[in-house]
């Protein structure tokens, strides 16, 4: 007797369809490079503990005397390792160590630093960048990016990990993104997985996977745009973010199925006729769920906008749906 | 030793002595069951990281594993602990986190995965090993230490519940 479920004998079309769909989640990644194995001999551990205590005590003396944190001391902070060039931690050259609270990590042009963000993720600090650990604890982890570019991958509840830049704060909603402080002072956020909220000056831009958003000095976060968006839409959004409200019709006219994140963000940034036009286009591309009031959305009710956002999330995360057809 | 032909016990002994090729072969044989355990508890975009963390952890701790034959149960226990820790960090399994993987999965895959996660614990891991990772019942039994009869019962009971849930359309 055949048993397609247990030993894969015989035919079951429904089972085969389920397997084909769920196979999208099958694990195929190779094993990452293994680190050197830690030595765990008891005497070594005791010596290491005593050594750590001594180093920590020395660090306290050094900090107390000079007012500068010591990146070579064990203690609270983020472990880091530098590759490809020199870097400075708290002003001293460092190839690896622990970035303590309050200290800056600066990478030279060709250097990259791999930073362990507590137990929630990793951060790559690219060359010519300057990063400071503002704080770390059970309630959250906060960094400051003053210059350069970082890539973050975080596994944590929403809003636990925040990176401040000179113009905005990137609030992690999970899972991965790149953040750049450009030479002209603008902050550029590119979300590669999950979603990030870019916030400043009382405004927030919800940027889902495969969108990009800019925050210019003095303006707060702009409007997220899909990386696959047309040039016409991108140009219109730049004009809108610069304060040109007459750009709304051009955004609405050029928005396609992959641009619903842009339109949703605009609902909270427009009013009256402009919002009505944005609503009509978004509703045409992705109909408003029956349990959400159209009048509430047109009125800019935050609760209604939030519920529509939750309904749109599946679409936003399905980037391939708008780039290529799937089997 | 030809690692391709080696038994799990032989591989564990070699890996315990620091042979990375042997450990890589253990990864090849067990990464799918470890991923299934993670995927039963955490978002798809986090499950891959859990797998890597589990094997990195195992690499460090392997010298302390006294009984090489205990490796399958041992690695699965590490996987469950790691997955539970990861789930604590992201307590809500939202649709976005299941879709935020590369390449993007089909929407019906995300719906089916949510339906499996809503099943009783007893069936979740086994069904994911079978339907997501593509392991047969006998392979699941060999990798988990469960008896073939138990695997068969878990698969059929779990599948019955899953068909009911998907038929109701409640997860779509």
Cβ neighbors of B163 (< 8 A, separation 6 or more) are A14
Q: B70 touching A, CB under 8 A?
A: no
What pLDDT does A55 receive?
A: 46
What is the rounded CA–CA span in Å between residue B85 and residue A174? 16
Residue A200 and residue A215 in contact, taking contact as beta carbons nearer than 8 Å: yes
Q: B103 touching A, CB under 8 A?
A: yes
Q: Which of B29, B72, B32 is nearest to B51 (CA)?
A: B32
Q: Which of B170, B158, B95 is nearest to B128 (CA)?
A: B158
A48 against A302, higher pLDDT: A302
Q: Which of residues 144-163 of B touch A (CB under 8 A)?
A: 151-152, 155-156, 159, 163
Mean pLDDT of chain A, nearest integer: 85
For residue B167, give the chain A residue with the closest CA.
A14
Q: What is the pLDDT of residues A252-276, one digit of tens each?
A: 999 999 999 999 999 999 988 999 9
What is the rounded CA–CA span in Å between residue A233 and residue A256? 9
Of B49, B60, B109, the CB nearest to A24: B109
Q: Is the pLDDT of residue A54 over 90?
A: no
What is the rounded CA–CA span in Å between residue A247 and residue B73? 61
What pLDDT does A276 receive?
A: 96
pLDDT over 70 for what percent of chain B? Answer: 88
Indicate the pLDDT class of residue A207, thresholds 50, 70 and 90.
very high
Under an 8 A CB cutoff, do B95 and A317 touch? yes
Q: B87 touching A, CB under 8 A?
A: no
Q: B93 touching A, CB under 8 A?
A: no
Q: What is the pLDDT of residues B37-66, one digit of tens each?
A: 999 998 888 898 899 999 999 999 999 888
Under an 8 A CB cutoff, do A18 and B43 touch? no
10-residue mean pLDDT profile of chain B (172 residues): values are: 86 93 95 95 87 93 87 90 82 62 73 90 91 95 89 94 79 40
């Amino acid at each position: 007797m055949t048993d397609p479920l247990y030993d894969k004998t015989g035919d079951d079309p429904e089972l085969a369809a389920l397997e084909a769909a769920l196979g999208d989640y099958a694990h195929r990644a190779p094993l990452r490079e293994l680190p050197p194995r830690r030595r765990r001999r008891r005497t070594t551990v005791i010596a290491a503990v005593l050594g750590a205590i001594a180093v920590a005590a020395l660090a306290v003396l050094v900090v107390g005397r000079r007012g500068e944190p010591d990146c070579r001391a064990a203690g609270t902070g983020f472990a880091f390792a530098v590759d490809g060039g020199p870097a400075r931690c708290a002003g001293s050259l460092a190839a690896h160590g622990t970035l303590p609270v309050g200290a800056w990590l600066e990478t030279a042009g060709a250097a990259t630093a791999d930073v362990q963000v507590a137990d929630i993720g990793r951060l790559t600090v690219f060359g010519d960048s300057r990063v400071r650990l503002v704080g770390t604890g059970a309630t959250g982890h906060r960094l400051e990016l003053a210059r350069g570019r970082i890539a973050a991958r975080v596994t944590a509840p929403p809003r636990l990990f925040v990176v401040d830049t000179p113009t905005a704060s990137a609030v992690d909603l999970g899972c991965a993104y790149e953040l750049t402080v450009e030479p002209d002072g603008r902050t550029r956020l590119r979300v590669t997985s999950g979603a990030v909220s870019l916030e400043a000056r009382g405004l927030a831009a919800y940027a889902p996977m495969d969108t990009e958003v800019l925050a210019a000095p003095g303006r707060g976060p702009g409007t997220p745009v899909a990386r696959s968006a047309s040039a016409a839409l991108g140009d219109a959004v730049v004009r809108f973010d610069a304060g040109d409200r007459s750009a709304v019709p051009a955004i609405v006219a050029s928005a396609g199925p992959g641009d619903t994140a842009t339109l949703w963000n605009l609902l909270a940034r427009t009013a009256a006729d402009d919002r009505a036009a944005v609503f009509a286009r978004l509703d045409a591309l992705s109909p408003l769920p029956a349990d959400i009031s159209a009048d509430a959305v047109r009125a800019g009710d935050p609760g209604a906008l939030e519920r529509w956002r939750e309904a749109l999330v599946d679409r936003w995360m399905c980037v391939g749906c708008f780039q290529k057809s799937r089997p | 030793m030809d690692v391709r032909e080696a038994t799990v016990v032989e591989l564990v002994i070699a890996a315990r002595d620091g042979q990375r090729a042997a450990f890589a072969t253990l990864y090849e044989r067990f990464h799918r069951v470890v991923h299934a355990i993670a995927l039963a508890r955490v978002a798809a975009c986090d499950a891959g990281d859990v797998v890597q963390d589990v094997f990195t952890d195992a690499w460090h701790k392997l010298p302390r594993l006294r009984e090489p034959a205990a490796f399958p149960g041992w690695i699965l226990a590490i996987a469950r602990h790691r997955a539970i820790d990861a789930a604590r960090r992201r307590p809500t399994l939202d649709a976005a986190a299941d879709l935020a993987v590369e390449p993007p999965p089909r929407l019906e895959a995300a719906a089916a995965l949510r339906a499996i996660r809503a099943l009783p614990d007893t069936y979740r891991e086994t069904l994911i090993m079978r339907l997501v990772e593509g392991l047969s019942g006998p392979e699941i039994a060999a990798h988990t230490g469960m008896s073939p009869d138990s695997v068969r019962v878990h698969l059929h009971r779990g599948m019955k519940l899953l068909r009911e849930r998907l038929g109701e359309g409640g997860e779509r």
